[in-house]
Amino acid sequence: MVWFFLILALAAGAVLPVQAGINSHLKAFAGSALIAAFISFLVGTIALFGLSFVMRVPLPTISVLAQAPWWAWLGGFLGAFLVFMTIVLSQSLGAAVMVALIITGQMITSLILDHYGLIGYARHPINPPRIIGAILLLSGVFLIRYK
């Protein structure tokens, strides 16, 4: 079963540069990166609503949602920031450098979240192999960018 999740993670990773390219192309028709990101999220919202309807996922009540911590509401904002930034950066950096930098940022943040067990993650202390992995990612960014 773990292989299934590994394949899904790879597929999700493959979507990022494709989505950035598609949204960047949409920007030319929408007139701005901000409007292209809005359209992308609108289409995604409609798709998720439709999928929820088809799968008969029950909607939570307002009182249940109100119990979520304040930071739990930031996911959509962070997703919008990511999509907007990929639209802005994809053409100037190219797919490889953009994704390498995004992955490096994700890795560094993930190490911190894991080390301190923040926002619901189990604690996984930073250790030498994890630090070496992050350094190798940074080295990869350098190699990809500077050929």
Amino acid at 31: G
pLDDT on residue 87:
96
Contact yes or no for 88/33 (Cβ under 8 A): yes
Q: What is the chain's alpha carbon radius of gyration, rounded to the nearest angstrom?
A: 18
Amino acid at 14: A
pLDDT on residue 85:
97
Amino acid at 98: M
According to DSSP, residue 56 is labeled T
Query: Given pLDDT bands bounded at 50, 70 and 90, which one contains residue 142?
Result: confident
pLDDT exceeds 80 at position 127: yes
Query: Tens of pLDDT along 22-62?
Result: 999 999 999 999 999 999 999 999 999 999 999 999 999 99
Amino acid at 103: I
pLDDT on residue 141:
84
Reported pTM: 0.86
Among 1-5, 41-45, 94-98, name the most confident range: 41-45
Q: Can you tell me the distance from the alpha carbon of 52 to that of 47, in angstroms, rounded to the nearest whole number?
A: 9
Q: Can you tell me the distance from the alpha carbon of 21 to that of 62, in angstroms, rounded to the nearest whole number?
A: 37
pLDDT on residue 144:
86
Q: Can you tell me the distance from the alpha carbon of 116 to that of 95, in angstroms, rounded to the nearest whole number?
A: 32
Summary mean pLDDT of the chain: 94
pLDDT on residue 147:
63
Query: Given pLDDT bands bounded at 50, 70 and 90, which one contains residue 1?
Result: confident
DSSP string, 59-108: PPPHHHHTTS-GGGGGHHHHHHHHHHHHHHHHHHH-HHHHHHHHHHHHHH
pLDDT on residue 47:
98
Q: What is the end-to-end Cα distance of the chain in Å, rounded? A: 38
Domain count, the chain: 1
| Domain housing 45 | 2-146
Query: Tens of pLDDT along 54-91?
Result: 999 999 999 999 999 999 999 999 999 999 999 999 99
Burial class (CB in 10 A: 0-12, 13-18, 19+), 71: exposed
Token pair of 65 as six digits: 């949602």
